[in-house]
Amino acid sequence: MDPTLRSYQKVSKSPTNPHSLTDLRQSSVPDLFQGPAGSGLAPRAEHEVHGLPSGQSALGLAEKLRQAYFWIVNHAIISPYYDIEYHDGPRKSIEFGDQQLHLPSDQSYSSFVLLPLLNFAVRRKCLLIGGPGRGKTASAILMGVLAGYPVNDVRRAIQHGQPQMTIADLLGNPLPSHLIEAKNMDEIQIAWRKWLGMRVKIIDEYNRIPTRTQSALLTVMGDNYAEIFDQIYECPESAWFMTANAEEGGGTYQVIEALRDRIDIVVKTLHFSSRFLGELIPRVEKDIRPEEVVPPEIIFSEIEMDQLYQDVLKVGIPLPVQRRIEFFASQFEYCAPAGEQFEYKTKDTLRLSPLDARLVMAQQTDMDPLLALGQQTLNGISVRGLLTLLLFCKALAWFRGNPEVALEDVRQILPFVLHDKLIQNSEAAFFELPGHAVYRVDKISWLRRLFDLSCIAFDRLNRDHDDPVSRLSEAFALGLDGVTEPEVRLRLQEIEVLLESFSRQGGPLSAYLFEDAIKLKYLHQRYTNYLKWLQWKT
Amino acid sequence: MAAVEDLKIPLELAELAEELRRKSLLGNSSRLPLMNQLWQTFLPLLMPRFSAITPLAEALSNALYHLCLSPSARPEEWLLRLNRGLPDCQQPQTLLDLAEVCAWLAGQPERRERALEILQTLPDALLESVFLSSWSASALRAGLQASAWWHPEGLNQTPAAWDPNRAVVHVMGGFRGWGGPFLFPPRLYLASEQIWVQSGNEVWQILADVFGWKLKRSKYLPGHAVPAQALSDPDHPASGLFLAEGNGFQVLASLNSFKLQLFAPIHR
């Protein structure tokens, strides 16, 4: 084999993240025989436990995905941008005027390569956006090859968005002879398109698909089935990769909102760093296409893909991290001028009205722009958004070899998940503060800054140690069986006292207190109903 | 002792030896002197016994590396027991199984569960040769399975008439500046019958048995963890001592000390 080609197919035998390898094993027992000397011997039980082909263990799957990551960044997609930064101890920062370059002190990652891989692992929908020729489609093709499909099959299965694309182009055609002979719809057989049955689905330039065809695509994306002439095709669980040349639906057709909402994670391409031109020369000289020389060691079988997803789900989210996500999510839905009744003071109410949300929100002038984070967005975070966030947090922690999600995992993944889900209110006072105008352009940094500000507020309120609403919720979660009438009255009183303390704080109500008040009203109502029942029983 | 550079290393191990030497794990500049001993005295014994020696050399070197880095482990004891059992190892896998059992006996309590499983499959003669005692293999299996605090090499103890009042004590921890894990004096917590240690923002879970202890690092203290109770002494109301009981042992911490004392078993 040609030495250049051989170097392309080389996969590192060393552990890609030795520290995290140890961490994951701490949930069971660290492997005695793996370490600095060669590859060691894997203990027998590892292979037997999971029954995976080719002796692949569950731990090996995380390592295999990391190897895939490093192969892609080293050989396939030249993306020398370590924008997902992790630090182990102090980091070094170098200043360029008012800008800073951080040198991460722990293994850090390039989002453009890592996030599609995580999407591959959790089988969700990933949008790759950026200028032409930046490797969006190449990245998506690589994911198809990693799923075990021949590269030609992957290329043929790509759905290329174009203005003339019909539903038949996308899903398939009824067989003409059946159309003529059929007495009823059931007799019409459909020649379904092959891509529907694949575990990696690629839609290139999805914002060039006509609106009507987008609706058909929405059904496949949302409900995982295709329908033509009353015939149904059930698709397997699959990872979706969509590409778009321009953001904000700036393609030939406006992307329908429901379709945009189905996108779970957004990945931005970054430019090609000219210092890496030398890497391109062997590709030209030897006519090497990375997707054609993917090493077999990093290709995943169907069983492995299923196992991979199951392993991600097992990663835990510790309560302190969960609380901070809750607190962050509670910042965005409240909008005082949107409603008269307490429950309707939300951006959802505003959304259903014909008024311009920006104008209504601009009425709130007495809010601190650094504390009222909700002022910066035109909507709140949907349940789907939160589910996706939790899943990708788990995936990132798993990829790093950790049994639990760390706060930094949330901080790193959140901007990419909420990129298209939290709509920026660029007229908010926050963006007028010195140095904040850049956040109107750089949405990833803006969302990360939002999370940081939320964590600062969380710490300032000492929510880790002083959260009476959580305490009351936990008491309620223990159940009402055996709770006596005096105890119920005590709890009701406690809820009322707490609500009154909110009202005594003065000034405009904070978004997180709005969510707390809603929760307290809920608890109050549940206890009231229970009290009524207790009285009726006696 | 002859330097590893002077040793005649078989060709098939040369690459591995060079890798370890490059990582300062073997040779004159080795950070782990015991690694030289493994390569000089133990690995040569494997050559006439087993055909494929490289994977074994890799695995055993890695095992020794982990034991040397484990604060509570006694790698010399591991090597000693391995030497004792080697004549009864007929298969490479048996040797690796023995290495795993010996790692447990040399102070890695986290391997207890797996080691007990392996004990069931080890040949009787091999099992008996590992311990300096007169117990039969079946008595060893039963005794080790029955109690985490029975030591087959203990004085006049039998698995059946084992004296529960005889507390085994480990002293663990220490200030990080002196090689220990703690930056601040540790505080004890109890959650789900497990004892946890917090020092500053760092958290560990304590695992222990008669052969050793381990501070297993954790990201967080469990949400329902409760602080250990202060020991009440009528003469010294503020004794500054805290005692936690859980998982079959007790741990004592002092307000100003970086060390923890482990007593076992708990008398009930």
Region A469-487: mean pLDDT is 88
| A32, A45, A402 ranked by CB distance to B103: nearest | A32
Residue A184's nearest CA partner among A152, A230, A142 is: A230
Q: State in Å, rounded, how far the first CA of chain B is from the last one.
A: 52
Give the separation between CA B253 and CA A45, rounded to whole angstroms.
38
More confident call, A123 vs A61: A123
Chain B residues 16-45 with a CB less than 8 Å from chain A: 16, 19-20, 23, 25
Highest mean pLDDT out of A69-73, B36-40, B103-107, B240-244: B103-107
Q: Output the pLDDT for position A16.
A: 60
| Cβ atoms of residues A412 and A396 within 8 Å | yes
Q: Compute the nearest-CA separation of A24 from chain B (Å).
A: 11
Based on its alpha-carbon atoms, the radius of gyration of chain A, rounded to whole angstroms, reads: 26
Contacts of A406 in chain B (CB under 8 A): 219
C-alpha to C-alpha distance for A129 and A205, rounded to whole angstroms: 9
Collect contacts of A269-278 with beta carbons under 8 A, ≥24 apart. Answer: A269/A112, A269/A128, A269/A129, A269/A130, A269/A131, A269/A134, A269/A135, A269/A136, A270/A79, A270/A81, A270/A83, A270/A112, A270/A130, A270/A134, A271/A131, A271/A134, A272/A78, A272/A134, A273/A78, A273/A80, A273/A81, A275/A80, A276/A78, A276/A80
pLDDT of B267 > 50? The answer is no
Average pLDDT over residues B131-139: 87
Write out chain A residues lying below 8 Å of B223, CB-based: 318-320
Mean pLDDT of chain B: 84
Q: Which helix (H) or strand (E) holds A173?
A: strand A172-174
What is the distance between the alpha carbons of residues A267 and A223, in angstroms, rounded to a whole number?
Answer: 23
Q: What's the confidence (pLDDT) of residue B268?
A: 41
Contacts of A315 (CB under 8 A, 6+ apart): A394, A395, A397, A398, A402, A403, A404, A405
Least confident of A8-22, A74-88, A504-518, B239-253: A8-22
**pLDDT band per the 50, 70, 90 thresholds, residue A259:** confident
How many Cα atoms occupy the beta-carbon half-sphere of A514 within 13 Å?
Answer: 21
pLDDT of residue A14: 57
Q: Which residues of B are less than 8 Å from A36 in CB distance?
A: 19-20, 23, 25, 61-62, 65
Is CATH 2.60.40 the classification given to domain A319-460?
A: no
Handedness of CA A142, A147, A148, A150 (dihedral sign): negative
Predicted pLDDT of residue A44: 34
Which pLDDT score, from 0 to 100, does residue A141 have? 94
Q: What is the mean pLDDT of residues A444-460?
A: 92
Closest CB to B66 among A26, A35, A402 = A35
Q: In angstroms, rounded to a whole number, what is the distance separating the alpha carbons of residues B30 and B37?
A: 11
Of A497 and B71, the one with more pLDDT: A497
> Would you give the distance in Å from CA B230 to the centre of its chain?
30
Q: Which two tokens stand for residue B82?
A: 């391995």
- How distant is the Cα of B16 from the closest Cα of chain A, in angstroms? 7
Q: How confident is the model at residue A23 (pLDDT cuts 50, 70, 90)?
A: very low
Residues 6 or more apart whose CB falls under 8 angstroms from that of B59 comprise A32, A33, A40, A41, B96, B99
Residue with tokens 């790509």: A158
B219 close contact with A: CB closer than 8 A? yes
Q: Which of A34-43, A57-66, A358-367, A524-533 is the most confident on average?
A: A524-533
pLDDT of residue A59: 47
Whether residues A30 and B66 touch (CB distance < 8 A) is answered with yes
Closest residue by Cα to residue B132 from B118, B153, B116, B111 = B153
Higher pLDDT, A489 or B4: A489
Contacts of A43 in chain B (CB under 8 A): 96, 100
The DSSP 8-state label assigned to residue A333 in this structure reads S
3-class DSSP state for residue B147?
coil
Most confident listed range (A118-127, A349-358, A471-480, B162-171): A118-127
Range from A396-400, A527-531, B26-30 carrying the lowest mean pLDDT = B26-30
> Which of A13, A32, A463 to probe the B interface (max B CBs under 10 A)?
A32
- A324 contact residues in B (CB cutoff 8 A): none
Question: Rounded to whole angstroms, how far apart are CA atoms A395 and A444?
Answer: 19
Inform me whether the C-beta atom of residue B244 falls under 8 Å from chain A C-beta atoms. Answer: no
Cα–Cα distances in Å, from B185 out to B173, B181, B198, B236, B254?
A: 9, 10, 9, 21, 8
Sign of CA dihedral B173, B178, B181, B182: positive
Residues B243 and B231 sit within 8 Å (Cβ to Cβ): yes
Computed over every residue of chain A, the mean pLDDT equals 84
Residue B73's nearest CA partner among B106, B104, B99, B98 is B106
Tokens of A87: 């630090």
Per residue in B68-109, pLDDT (tens digit) is: 988 889 999 999 999 999 999 999 999 999 999 999 999 999
Max Cα distance, chain A (Å)? 89
Kindly give the residue spans of alpha helices, DSSP state H, lying in A205-330: 211-223, 257-262, 277-286, 302-313, 319-329
Q: B197 to chain A nearest CA, in Å?
A: 16
State which residue of chain A sits closest to B15, comparing Cα positions: A38
pLDDT tens readout for residues A222-242:
888 888 888 888 888 899 999
**Superfamily name and number for A112-271:** P-loop containing nucleotide triphosphate hydrolases (3.40.50.300)
Percent of chain A at pLDDT above 70?
Answer: 89
Whether B63 sits inside 8 A of A33 (CB atoms) is yes
Number of A–B residue contacts, CB under 8 Å:
76
A210 against B238, higher pLDDT:
A210
Beta bridge partners of B198: B187, B203
Interface test with B, best of A14, A33, A404 (most B CBs within 10 A): A33
Q: Extract the tokens encoding A534.
A: 């207790």
Higher-confidence position of A33 and B38: B38
CB contact under 8 A, A36 and B56: no
How does pLDDT run across A135-153, given as a tens digit for each residue?
Answer: 889 999 999 999 999 999 9
The pLDDT of residue A3 is: 62
- Residue A411 β-bridge partners: none
CB atoms within 10 A of CB B45: 12
User: What is the predicted pLDDT for the residue at B135?
Assistant: 86
**Contact of A158 with A137, CB cutoff 8 Å:** yes
Please give the helix or strand (H or E) that residue A512 lies within, else none: helix A511-537
A58 pLDDT above the threshold of 50: no
* Cβ atoms within 10 Å of A451's Cβ, excluding its own: 22
For chain A, the structural domain boundaries read: 1-78+272-313, 112-271, 319-460, 468-537
Instruction: Give yes or no for residue A27 having a pLDDT over 50.
Output: no
Choose the closest CB to B100 out of A32, A37, A39: A32
What is the Cα–Cα distance from A57 to A69, expressed in whole angstroms?
18
Q: How many Å lie between the alpha carbon of A14 and the closest alpha carbon of chain B?
A: 12
> A319 CA to chain B: closest CA distance, Å?
7
- What pLDDT, on the 0 to 100 scale, is given for residue B117? 93
Give the span between the Cα atoms of A242 and A18, in whole angstroms.
33
Q: What's the pLDDT tens digit per position in B160-218?
A: 444 555 566 788 988 888 888 898 999 999 988 889 999 988 899 999 988 999 998 88
pLDDT, tens digit, 9 for 90 and up, residues A268-315: 888 888 888 888 888 888 888 888 888 888 899 888 888 889 999 999
Per-residue confidence (pLDDT) for residue A38, from 0 to 100 = 67
Q: What is the pLDDT of residues A411-420, one digit of tens each?
A: 999 999 999 8
Between strands A200-204 and A159-160, the pairing is parallel
| pLDDT at site B236 | 61
Phi, psi of B141 (to 5 degrees): -60, -45
Q: What residue type is A493 in one-letter code?
A: Q
Q: Do B55 and A35 touch (CB under 8 A)?
A: no
Partner A contacted by B110 (CB < 8 A): yes
**Rg, chain B, Cα only:** 21
pLDDT at position B124 is 93
Q: Residues of chain A whose C-beta is under 8 A from some C-beta in B? A: 23, 26, 29-30, 32-41, 43-45, 318-320, 402, 404, 406
Chain B CB contacts of A319 under 8 Å are 220, 223
Q: Give chain A positions within 8 Å (CB) of B198.
A: none
Amino acid at A341: Q
- Residue B50 predicted with pLDDT over 80: yes
